[in-house]
Amino acid sequence: MKSGDTYRFSLSWPMDTQEQILAGEFLNKLKNKKSRFLIHLICEYLQTNPEAMNAKETLKLIVETTPVGDALASMIRSIVQNELAGKTMQNITPVIEKLPTDDDSGIDDMLGNLDIFN
């Protein structure tokens, strides 16, 4: 918003993605130098995208973000559910050929098989 001889803006965003968290932490670190930093970034953007200043152009910004926390867990849950939809789980019965005993014969067998490493 233009106010007299200054521009004044207020920004806020949720902490849903790693990018949002990183940006918020970085701007906090800048303290009272945020304005100079944002002016530099905007001017750099406009140099590479001069059409953005054309009043007739509609800006379309596509930003890919990396979700964190509950958003990430929800995405993973959804992907797993979609992959498992309509599939059945197989019942796998473990096969135990020989139950361990209290004697040392199992250890002797194991030591005897160490010859394969020579």
3-state helix, strand, coil in the chain (%, to 5): 55, 5, 40
- pLDDT for the residue 103: 66
Q: What is the tens place of the pLDDT at every residue in 45-104? A: 999 988 888 878 787 777 777 777 787 788 888 888 888 887 777 777 766 666 666 666
The pLDDT tens digits of the residues spanning 68-82 come to 778 778 888 888 888
The pLDDT, as a whole number, for residue 95 is 67
More confident call, 117 vs 29: 29
pTM > 0.85: no
Instruction: Decide if 1 contacts 9 (C-beta within 8 A).
Output: yes
For range 17-36, the mean pLDDT: 92
**DSSP assignment letter at 90:** P
For the record, the structure tokens of 107 come out as 């250890």
Tokens of 58: 């509609």
Closest among 33, 40, 36, 12 to 24, alpha carbons compared: 12
